[in-house]
């Protein structure tokens, strides 16, 4: 029984203020409860899919394993694999073609099938991809174990590189990601960028994507050094003349370190950059940064070689003369 009483609500009246305050205190819990009930969605109303937001929006194909969950109806929930015709067999409802559909779209299609067949009036279906059988993430280039990796669920660039054994020491400056659903717009990630670690953990990859690790650029150190040959700009890191000499085992004792040079090929010509290594070491000359294809040449000193070889020869000659004189006596 509802009893209503007319109360003077004039704010200027003391009695009205007291009655108004008491009325708010009495009705406040009921108003809050009513608002909470209105704001809570009813699981038995509407036709909205309960698909998890973590499921990748990627089309399924034959061989993929799906997990179907019908709300509050375990007899209609099951795991099923997409057959060669691109269809799945529902526990109740027959075969349903799902080839080329995403998990969300499959959930909606199953809801419509249950309604059409008069199996359920208001179904709520969630679908997730348990296994992509025919598609994986391809990792190529400068990784220790290139290949195709079937990584299920949500995975990042960091996970994919870890699965491939990590990059080699000859990794270049960029990683190129080609997404299967948008192959015409590949992404290039700079390895030596300051926030590279954050990018690795934030970049989400999906089955069908391709990851290519570039090979490092090459420069050459030749001449009178401990180890001449080709060297890599590892991880795209810049290298200077002093860095290059350290990798090449430093100049030999017989090297003419004041007359070193860099041979650099430009688009239309070849440039020769003279270097005085002792001055670079003393910071009297700038330590030149090398570029891809540069040739660092450290010549040998003819004077040093002749001087060192002449002394033993002279000593040998004197010794031979002494021995010969002794024998002739």
Tokens matching residue 20: 């108004």
Same domain, residue pair 199 and 258: no
**Does 323 map to a domain?**
no
Same domain, 204 and 239: no
**Do 90 and 101 belong to one domain?**
yes
Has residue 76 been placed in a domain?
Answer: yes
- 3-class secondary-structure state, position 292: coil
Q: Are residues 114 and 190 in the same domain?
A: no
The enclosing domain of 107 has a CATH number of 3.30.1950.10
Residue 281 domain-assigned?
Answer: yes
For residues 125 and 151, state if they share a domain: no
Which structural domain, as residue segments, surrounds residue 254? 218-303
Report how many domains make up the chain.
3
CATH of the domain at 240: 3.10.560.10
Place 7 in a pLDDT band, splitting at 50, 70 and 90.
very low
- Measured in whole angstroms, how far is the alpha carbon of residue 18 from the centre of its chain? 66
**Residue 58 placed within a domain:** no
Same domain, residue pair 225 and 198: no
For 73-95, what is each residue's pLDDT tens digit?
888 888 988 888 889 988 888 89
Distance in angstroms (rounded) separating the CA atoms of residues 147 and 219: 29
In the listed set 192, 215, 238, which residue is the last one of a domain according to the structure?
Answer: 215
Model confidence pLDDT, tens digit, residues 181-236: 888 999 999 888 888 889 999 998 887 889 999 999 999 999 999 999 999 987 77
* Domain annotation covers residue 12: no
Q: What is the pLDDT of residue 46?
A: 39
Phi-psi region at 121: left, alpha or beta (left = phi > 0; alpha = psi -120 to 50): alpha
Same domain assignment for residues 202 and 228: no
Q: Say if 161 falls within a structural domain.
A: yes
pLDDT at 128 over 70: yes
Rounded to two decimals, the pTM is 0.52
Residue 180 is predicted with a pLDDT of: 82
Question: Do 185 and 218 touch, CB atoms closer than 8 A?
Answer: no
């Amino acid at each position: 029984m509802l009893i209503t009483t007319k109360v003077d609500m004039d704010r200027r009246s003391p009695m009205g203020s007291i009655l108004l305050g008491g009325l708010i205190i009495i009705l406040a819990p009921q108003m809050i409860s009513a608002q909470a009930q209105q704001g809570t969605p009813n699981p038995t109303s509407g036709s909205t899919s309960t698909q998890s937001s973590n499921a990748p929006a990627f089309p399924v194909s034959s061989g993929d394993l799906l997990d179907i969950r019908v709300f509050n109806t375990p007899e209609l929930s099951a795991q099923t694999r997409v057959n060669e015709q691109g269809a799945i067999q529902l526990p109740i409802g027959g075969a349903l073609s799902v080839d080329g559909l995403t998990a969300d779209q499959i959930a909606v299609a199953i809801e419509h099938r249950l309604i059409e067949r008069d199996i359920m009036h208001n179904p709520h279906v969630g679908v997730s991809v348990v296994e992509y059988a025919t598609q994986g993430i391809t990792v190529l280039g400068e990784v220790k174990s290139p290949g195709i990796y079937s990584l299920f669920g949500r995975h990042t660039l960091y996970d994919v590189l870890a699965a491939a054994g990590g990059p080699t020491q000859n990794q270049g400056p960029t990683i190129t990601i080609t997404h299967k659903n948008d192959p015409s717009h590949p992404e290039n990630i700079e390895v030596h960028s300051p926030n590279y670690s954050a990018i690795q953990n934030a970049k989400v990859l999906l089955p069908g994507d391709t990851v290519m690790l570039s090979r490092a650029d090459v420069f050459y150190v030749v001449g009178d050094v401990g180890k001449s040959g080709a060297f890599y700009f590892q991880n795209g890191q810049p290298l200077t003349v002093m860095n290059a000499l350290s990798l090449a085992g430093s100049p030999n004792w017989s090297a003419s370190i004041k007359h070193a040079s860099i041979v650099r090929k430009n688009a239309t010509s070849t440039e020769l950059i003279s270097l005085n290594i002792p001055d670079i070491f003393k910071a009297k000359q700038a330590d030149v940064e090398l570029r891809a294809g540069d040739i660092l040449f450290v010549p040998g000193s003819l004077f040093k070689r002749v001087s060192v070889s002449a002394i033993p020869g002279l000593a040998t000659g004197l010794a031979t003369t002494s021995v010969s004189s002794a024998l002739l006596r």
